[in-house]
A and B are shown apart, each in its own frame.
Chain A
Amino acid sequence: MKWLRPRARRPRGVTIIALMLLGQALVWMATGTLHFSELPSLRLPATDTSYFNLALVGLNLVIALGMLLLRPWAWMAAMTVQGISLGAGLWAYYLGTPDFLLMGTSVLVVLYLNLHEVRRPFGVEDLRLRWNAGQEEPDELP
């Protein structure tokens, strides 16, 4: 199972984020299920962000696994999901129904994932080299 081996030594924070994503997915799954529950006694009031959350559950699970294995796509996907989450959070804030916990968590995750020492083990220090290999603008080379 070579593909299950991480590419490099995993930073502790990445493990925490992966576990957090797993936990977040489980919570969203539970709350999302409860929003749509048929039993009125179990149904929670749906907020504007909860539909987003439910859609992100599956994605979160895959990303969490990719993060544990330090896959470059998982880093990009995690950033994207946090971006969507932040967009939803800011939109909810604009509408007057803010979810500050969601926003705060996402901000911390994004800033942590963007640190040099976290990007290095994922191999995403240079996004243009990683995803557009050989497409450097020649006039910008050092």
Chain B
Amino acid sequence: MNSPDGHADLELLRRFEPQIRFNRGELFYPVDVDAFLLHTDLLLHRKGEDSTVLIPRPQATQEAIAGCDKDIHAGALHLRLVDRPLNTLQLVQFHARSDLREFRKGVTRHARVGLVARLLDVVFRISLLARGRVPGGTAAAAAIAYETMRETAPSPVYYGRVERTYDYTSLQYWFFYAYNDYRSHFHGANDHEGDWEMVSVFLSHDESGAPIPEWAAFAAHDGKGADLRRRWDDPELRKVGEHPIVYAGAGSHAAHFSPGEYIIRARIPLLARLERAIATVKSVWRTALRQGGTSRAERDGHLDVAFVDYARGDGRCIGPGTDIPWEARLLDEQPALVHYPGLWGRYLDDPIRGEDAPAGPRFNRDGSVRTAWYDPVGWSELTAVPSASREIPTAQAELTRLNEEAAALGPRIARAEDEATRLGVRVAALRDGSPSSRHLGECEGRLAEARETVSRLRHSLSETELLARSIGARVERLKQGDRGDPRGHLRRPDVPQQPSQLRLHRLAETWSAISAGLLLLVIGTVAIVYHAALLPFFLLFAAFLFVESLFHRRVAALVHGFVMTLALTALAVLAYEFWWQIAVALALGLGATITWTNLRELTRR
């Protein structure tokens, strides 16, 4: 339910618009889509064919692409910003003068993760050769094109949308970046043309109708759910007046609440089955066999590649409180943002979609409508969370309903008990001397049912009373202004990594940079020299793991893992050598236990 008053919506959006703090070295900032479209062609990609240009630049305006009548199912409809990437010489010239020189990567991503993640990283890089991939030099060419766009549209732009639901007014701020250069310039997971990011603010209203900010939700890496939102009084949500502060990831533009460096883990779909198998084995190990692991916080069998999202906020700042203000536009007045179902950049038919451009604010890549568009409140799991102004009335109404339910249960229980007593009298009389055993059986059946009904109703009453007491206590707390833990809804929020987790930073970085490759090289050399000898491989791998654990402060975990591996190997050897004796011992043990238990039961009687 949208407000017909666009001016009021724009004012509301203006009042809570965010400030975005970028990382040093960032090349792309939120841009006017009209300026972007002047530099793009609209193409249609049919499976197995080259893309064909439907509307060449500069005719690909918002109206033109929104009115493009090509069926999305005929192929992939997409824009193209860069048609000729920079060559090597141009790239060298670009890097010599670009803002990228200001970027400092700090501790490398390899030094932050374990050996397995680094070996998987090799697999990920090889997969880029097989998958569709944005050609090298595209990011730099896009950066040059972006500079040209800024000449015609210098102000950074956001596209705002106001959605009113039963309890909340949701303000969505959509930011469009000409390019995501996360992989090529910031050692990240992917590159793609066009990049849409979104920040939401959820408002409620007081009795006079004045807006009260309740929650802010920041989209990051296609995520959704409760972990994306923070309550307005959560200290992690930093603000300038009524404006939330967003820390944007370098190149990825993902929005974060705190400044810092975030570890982003990309799953490898091919390894999903192996992950599930590892998780099952770990579960049996921990629960059925009651065996301990290394750490309670360790994740179950995740095999993923790690990247660092740099969101230090030490670069350019845009928005309220800075010298670069936003230019605000209403999203609903932008035809391409509402109606164009295609992608906002190059389409490469990447099977895991990372290198394909995203679709607009309304659509997913497959043409379906985004959850954040049709259900902005549900997107961040706010549907069942009443706003502050409605929290007490809602809880009180529920309390009244429960008390009424409990009151209604009283007479029902009395009736059921009366029925059970009457049937009890009948059964007792029939047992004393019944002419019909069939009648007795029928009465006993009805008595059992009546007893069951009484028990069920009493259980229900007990549960209702307990729930009513909890809600009553909550109402009292709410009346005293205690809304509970502002972070109680968070399950696995993103937290910036602590640099202190590494020992001997420089040395660790050097080791991390060379170890995965070195391990493979040395294994190859050892294989040539020692052929199939097992011990040198074993010792070599153990030495690598030891150095690795020293840097990551995991020597205890390594020793534990090592001992458990040896124990399981020895167990396998023993099972192989003595399977017959073990089977006999198990049979004898089982027989003795059963006999002993049964005899004890017999003698106790």
Contact A80 B563, beta carbon cutoff 8 Å: yes
Contact A139 B497, beta carbon cutoff 8 Å: yes
Q: What residue in chain B is nearest A87 (Cβ atoms)?
A: B566
Quote the shortest CB–CB distance from A100 to chain B (angstroms): 7
Quote the shortest CB–CB distance from B70 to chain A (angstroms): 42
Contacting residues of chain A (49-104) with chain B, CB-CB under 8 angstroms? 76, 79-80, 82-83, 86-87, 89-90, 93, 98, 100, 103-104
Known pairs A100-B578, A104-B574; A80 contacts B559 (CB<8 A) = yes
Q: What residue in chain B is nearest A132 (Cβ atoms)?
A: B553
Quote the shortest CB–CB distance from B557 to chain A (angstroms): 5
Contact residues of A: prevailing secondary structure: helix
Query: How distant is the Cα of A48 from the Cα of B290 in the complex, in angstroms?
Result: 34
Contact B574 A83, beta carbon cutoff 8 Å: no
The residue that B570 contacts in the complex, of A90, A127, A138, A142, with Cβ under 8 A, is: A90
Contact A117 B497, beta carbon cutoff 8 Å: no
Q: What residue in chain A is nearest B502 (Cβ atoms)?
A: A135
Taken residue by residue from 185 to 204, chain B's Cβ proximity to chain A (1 for < 8 Å, 0 otherwise) reads as: 00000000000000000000
Contact A107 B570, beta carbon cutoff 8 Å: yes
Contact B292 A114, beta carbon cutoff 8 Å: yes
The residue that B574 contacts in the complex, of A103, A114, A127, A131, with Cβ under 8 A, is: A103
Contact residues of B: prevailing secondary structure: mixed
Query: How distant is the Cα of A132 from the Cα of B501 in the complex, in angstroms?
Result: 9
Number of A-B contacts (CB under 8 A): 115
Contacting residues of chain B (564-595) with chain A, CB-CB under 8 angstroms? 564, 566-567, 569-571, 573-574, 577-578
Contact A106 B497, beta carbon cutoff 8 Å: no
Q: What residue in chain B is nearest A119 (Cβ atoms)?
A: B292
The bracket for how many chain A residues form the interface is 35 or more
The residue that A82 contacts in the complex, of B492, B554, B563, B574, with Cβ under 8 A, is: B563
Quote the shortest CB–CB distance from B83 to chain A (angstroms): 39
Known pairs A100-B577, A128-B557; A83 contacts B563 (CB<8 A) = yes
Known pairs A110-B567, A114-B564; A135 contacts B290 (CB<8 A) = no
Taking CB atoms, residues of chain A closer than 8 Å to B555 are 131
Known pairs A127-B557, A128-B557, A130-B556; A138 contacts B495 (CB<8 A) = yes
Query: How distant is the Cα of A125 from the Cα of B291 in the complex, in angstroms?
Result: 10
Contact B563 A86, beta carbon cutoff 8 Å: yes
Query: How distant is the Cα of A142 from the Cα of B298 in the complex, in angstroms?
Result: 9
Taken residue by residue from 328 to 349, chain B's Cβ proximity to chain A (1 for < 8 Å, 0 otherwise) reads as: 0000000000000000000000
Taking CB atoms, residues of chain B closer than 8 Å to A89 are 570
Query: How distant is the Cα of A86 from the Cα of B569 in the complex, in angstroms?
Result: 9
Say if the beta carbon of A129 comes within 8 Å of chain B: yes
Q: What residue in chain A is nearest B497 (Cβ atoms)?
A: A138
Contact A107 B563, beta carbon cutoff 8 Å: no
Contact A127 B567, beta carbon cutoff 8 Å: no
Taking CB atoms, residues of chain B closer than 8 Å to A115 are 290-292
Say if the beta carbon of B167 comes within 8 Å of chain A: no
Taking CB atoms, residues of chain A closer than 8 Å to B263 are 137, 139
Taking CB atoms, residues of chain B closer than 8 Å to A76 are 556, 559-560
Contact B570 A86, beta carbon cutoff 8 Å: yes
Taking CB atoms, residues of chain A closer than 8 Å to B566 are 83, 86-87, 90, 110
- Kindly name the residue among A98, A106, A137 whose own CB sees the greatest number of chain B CB atoms within 10 A: A137
Quote the shortest CB–CB distance from B163 to chain A (angstroms): 32
Contact B295 A127, beta carbon cutoff 8 Å: yes
Q: What residue in chain B is nearest A110 (Cβ atoms)?
A: B567
The residue that B295 contacts in the complex, of A98, A100, A110, A126, with Cβ under 8 A, is: A126
Say if the beta carbon of B294 comes within 8 Å of chain A: yes
Contact B292 A93, beta carbon cutoff 8 Å: no
Taking CB atoms, residues of chain A closer than 8 Å to B494 are 139
Quote the shortest CB–CB distance from A136 to chain B (angstroms): 6
Query: How distant is the Cα of A131 from the Cα of B549 in the complex, in angstroms?
Result: 13
Query: How distant is the Cα of A68 from the Cα of B254 in the complex, in angstroms?
Result: 54
Known pairs A90-B573, A106-B570, A126-B295; A139 contacts B495 (CB<8 A) = yes
Q: What residue in chain A is nearest B560 (Cβ atoms)?
A: A127
Query: How distant is the Cα of A127 from the Cα of B295 in the complex, in angstroms?
Result: 6
Contact B563 A116, beta carbon cutoff 8 Å: no
Say if the beta carbon of B137 comes within 8 Å of chain A: no
Quote the shortest CB–CB distance from B29 to chain A (angstroms): 27
Query: How distant is the Cα of A9 from the Cα of B344 in the complex, in angstroms?
Result: 66
Query: How distant is the Cα of A106 from the Cα of B567 in the complex, in angstroms?
Result: 8
Q: What residue in chain B is nearest A88 (Cβ atoms)?
A: B566
Query: How distant is the Cα of A117 from the Cα of B560 in the complex, in angstroms?
Result: 17
By Cβ-Cβ distance, the 9 closest A-B pairs, closest first, are A83-B563, A138-B495, A86-B566, A110-B567, A128-B295, A131-B556, A132-B553, A127-B556, A103-B570
Sample (13) of A-B pairs whose CB atoms are under 8 Å apart: A79-B563, A80-B563, A86-B563, A86-B566, A86-B567, A107-B567, A107-B570, A111-B571, A114-B292, A124-B292, A129-B296, A137-B501, A138-B497
Beyond contacts A83-B563, A138-B495, A139-B495: 6 other A-B pairs, Cβ-Cβ < 8 A, are A98-B577, A106-B570, A119-B292, A132-B554, A138-B497, A141-B297
Chain A interface residues toward B at CB < 8 A: 76, 79-80, 82-83, 86-87, 89-90, 93, 98, 100, 103-104, 106-107, 110-111, 114-117, 119, 124-132, 135-142
